[in-house]
Amino acid sequence: MVGIWGTSGVGKTTIARILFKRLSHFFQGSVFIDKHFISETMEIYNKGNPDDYNIKLHLQERFLSGILKKEGINVDHLGSVRDKLNHQKVLIVIDDLDEQVVLDAMVGQTDWFGFGSRIIVVTKDQHFLKAHGIDCIYEVRLPSNIQALQMFCRYAFSKDSPPHDFSEIVSEVVLLAGNLPLGLQVLGSCLRGRLIGDWVNMMPRLRKDLDGKIEKTLKVSYEKLDNEKDKALFRHIACFFNGEKISDIKILLRDSDLEVDYGLQNLIDKSLIFVRNGSIEMHLLLQEMGKKIVRTQSKKPGEREFLVDSKDIYNALKHNTGTENVLGIALDMGENDELHIHESAFKQMRCLLFLKFHIKQNKDVRWHLPEGFDYLPSTLRLLSWEKYPLTSMPSGFSPVNLVKLQMQESKLEKLWEGVHSLISLKDIDLQKSKSLTQFPDLSMAINLKTLDLGDCSSLMELPSSIQSLNKLEKLDMSGCSNLEALPPAINLQSLNRLDLKGCSRLRSFPDISTSFVELILDGTSIDKFPSNLRLENLQLLSMRAIKSDKLWEDVQTRKEIWTRMKHSPLSNRRDGLLS
C-alpha cells in the first residue's frame, strides 16, 4: 500500500488519475474509487454509526462490482473481498479518503488481494494512512516558483511564459495563488483571453477575496476538524503565528486550553500546516481563508477574536470599539504613516494576549497618543511594538504575563519602575532604542533566555540583578558605545553567546560565564582577560579592531587562547587573533 498525502488543491488527485491511467492495463482488475463512487452508500447510512456493519457490506458490494465490472454482486459477510480477489492482481486507487470505514471495508488487509497487487490511497489526513499501517507515503508539495509560473501560463496563455506586457502582473497573480496548483488553474482559466486592462481591473478583487471554488476546496479540511480547539488553533496560526517557531507558539499558548501539542499534530496530519526548520508554515491561501473565517464572527470587528485588517484596527483603536473578545491585534503599517490610539483603547480588551505593531524599516510613523494613555492589559503575553513613541511603559501596565517583549527602535528611556514577577518572560528585544538609559531590575525574570540591547547607545550599565538570569543564553550589547562596565563576577551559567562589538568604552572583561560558544569583542577597549576565563566550549572568537594593545602584551594569555581554540570541539573562527 502506498499513500499520497498533501493539502487541498495541491494536485494529489491529478497524480493519482495519471498513475491509474498508465498502470491499470498491467492488472487483471482495476478500480478508481472517488467521492462519487461511495457517496450513495454514505448518504444512505449517514444517520447511523459510520462503522456500522451494513455500511461495510454495502461498500464491499459497490467495490466488487466496480473492480470485477459486474452488477448485482451480493455480499453477506466481510470476507467476500478476500474470497473473490485473493488470487487476482489488482490496482486500487482510493481518492480523497476522509472516512476510515472506507479504507477498512474495501482494503482491510493486503492479503485480501493477489500477488503484485497495488493499493494507492489519496488523502489530506496523514492520520488515516498511519492508522492503517501505511508507511510508504508520498507527500505532494507545492511546485517551485518557476514551475508555478509555467503552470499558470499554460492555463492563461496556452504556453510556458507570459507575453512581455503581462510579465509583472502575472508574477503577482502567481504570488496570490501561493503556487497552489488549484489556484493557478482557477485564476489562469478565469483570466484566459482577457486584455491587460481587464487583468488590472480584476486585481483589487483578487487581492482581497479568494475565488469561490478555491475557498470551498480549502475549507473542507478545516470543517473536517472534529475538535473546536483544533479549529481555534488553526485560526490562531492563520491570524498570528504563521512562520513562527514551534517552541515559541507552545510557550505563548502554554496556559491556554488548546492542547497545542496534540492540535499541531492534527493540523499537520490534515495538511493544514507543515513544519520547516522548526517553524510552522501555513499556505498563503489557507491563511487568508482562516482570516476570512474570523471576519465572519461578527460584523463589528471589535467583537472578533483577532483584528488583522488595517482599516478595522485603525477604527477600533481610534474609536475605542474593542471588546473582551479580542485576543490579538496584528498591524502591519505598510500603507498608513499615522495611527490614532484612544486613551482607553485597550481597557475593554481585557483578554488581549497578543499585540503586534510592525513598521517597515526607514518608515516614519506619526503616533497620536493622548497624555492620559496609561493602560495596556496585564494579560499580554506577546508585546511587539516597533518604534514605540513613549519614554516609558504605561504606568498602569503590569508585565506579569509577558513571554516576549519586542520594542525595537523605541523612544524608551526606561521600561518600568520597581521589581515585577516576570517568571514567564523568555525574550527581551530593545535593539536600537537609542534613548534607553535605565534598565529595570530583572531579578524575578529567572527564565529569560535572550536579551538584545544592541545599539542602545545611551545605556551605560546593566543592573547587578542580571546575576539572577541563570537561564540566559544570549546577551547582545553590540553598539552600546557608552557602556563602560558589566557587573563583575556574575557567572551566568547558561550564557553561550556574548556580543560586545562596538562597546568602545568597555575596558575590562567580566567573569560572566563558563560556557561561551560565541564571543564577539570587535572594537572594544578590553586590555585584560580574567585569569580564570574558561574557553573550552568556544567555537567563535572575534576580536577585530581591538583598541588596546595591552591584551597582546601578555604572551601567556595569547598562547592560552590559541591553545583552547585549537581544542574546541568544532572548527573555529579566530578573527583578529595573532599567531
Q: Walk along the chain (579 residues) and give the pLDDT tens digit of each residue.
A: 999 998 888 888 889 999 999 999 999 999 998 877 776 666 555 545 555 777 788 888 888 888 888 887 888 888 888 888 989 999 999 988 777 878 888 888 888 999 999 999 999 888 888 888 898 999 998 899 999 999 999 988 999 999 988 988 999 888 888 888 888 887 887 788 888 888 888 888 777 666 666 777 677 778 878 889 999 999 999 999 998 999 999 999 988 889 999 999 988 887 788 888 889 988 777 888 899 999 999 999 999 999 989 999 999 999 999 999 999 999 988 767 889 999 999 999 999 999 999 887 777 888 998 888 889 999 999 999 999 999 999 988 899 999 999 999 999 999 988 888 899 999 999 999 999 998 888 889 999 999 999 999 999 988 888 888 989 999 999 999 999 888 876 778 888 899 999 999 988 887 776 677 888 989 998 887 776 666 777 888 888 888 776 665 554 555 656 665 554 444 344 455 443
From CA 239, how far away is CA 313, in angstroms rounded?
13
Cα 62–Cα 64–Cα 68 angle in degrees, nearest 5: 125
Nearest of 408, 399, 406, 403 to residue 376 by alpha carbon? 399
From CA 245, how far away is CA 276, in angstroms rounded?
9
For residue 551, what are the CA distances in angstroms to 125, 517, 577? 62, 21, 11
List the CATH code of the domain at 2-139.
Answer: 3.40.50
Domain spans in the chain, listed from the N-terminal domain onward = 2-139, 145-208, 214-291, 298-380
Fold (topology level) of 214-291? Arc Repressor Mutant, subunit A (1.10.10)
Domain 214-291 in the same topology as domain 2-139: no
From CA 564, how far away is CA 181, in angstroms rounded?
55
